Homo-oligomer: A and B are copies of this chain.
Amino acid sequence: MKISNPSGSGSGSAIPEVVILRLPLYVRILTQLRDEGIEVVSSRELGERLSVTPAQIRKDLSYFGRFGKQGRGYNVNYLVGELRRVLGLDRDWNAAVVGVGRLGRAIISYPGFSPEGFKVVAAFDADPSQVGRQLDVVTVRPMEDLAKAIAEQKIDIGIVAVPAPQAQPVINKLVECGIKAILNYAPVAPQVPGDVRVRNIDPVLGLQTMTYHLKMMKERKGK
């Protein structure tokens, strides 16, 4: 399958990527509030829960319509429903895991995906000794089946759990098969066409963005 828009930045919409990145956190907090029985929330309260200014909250939400009334706050139940719809979370999405080592197996049996509508429906590995293995509800298939499975099983998301040196070739293969959304667990910064989204799940990168602050604090304390 050809990449339809390799040069574009992807969405074609006017909503800044940084806003899109915050919305799932809004959904999470609003869902917590709803589950606590809270019916109305102000941008100030939402902002406090998210460590974001109320003005930022109002600006972010204004991209998607008029959710709140001045001085009356947001209807929690309505807002969570609308944001889920905006984000495409009002439906299920099928995912394929590539790589069934320890990490891949942990991902396949991770209990957090399914309740959120993300279904791991296929698993692949380049190692013939892994092929045919039953993991949770999926049977490991050879890499040669990737294109066929993605088309037949309506798979939109690729989850990459291979070692670092194999990550870019696997990602290239997923992109060739038409995958536009990749969750990458390999510790690499993959390169993809402009219409493909990648999210890297990388605990070391997370740690490395905090040591700067730890170092600065220690220097200020004179240690």
Contacts and interface: CB of A to CB of B under 8 A. Distances in A.
- Oligomer: number of copies: 2
A87 B118 contact: no
Given A21-B209, A203-B110, A216 B13 contact: yes
A29 B187 CA distance: 11
Nearest to A17: B209
A188 B113 CA distance: 14
A52 to B, nearest CB: 10
A38 to B, nearest CB: 15
A110 B204 CA distance: 11
A25 interface: yes
A183 to B, nearest CB: 6
Given A27-B208, A86-B212, A211-B88, A217 B195 contact: yes
A195 B112 CA distance: 30
Nearest to A48: B191
A185 B59 CA distance: 29
Interface of A: 10-13, 20-21, 23-25, 27-29, 32, 48-51, 86-89, 93, 95, 102-103, 106-107, 110, 112-113, 116, 118, 156-157, 180-181, 183, 187-189, 191, 195, 197, 199-201, 203-217, 220
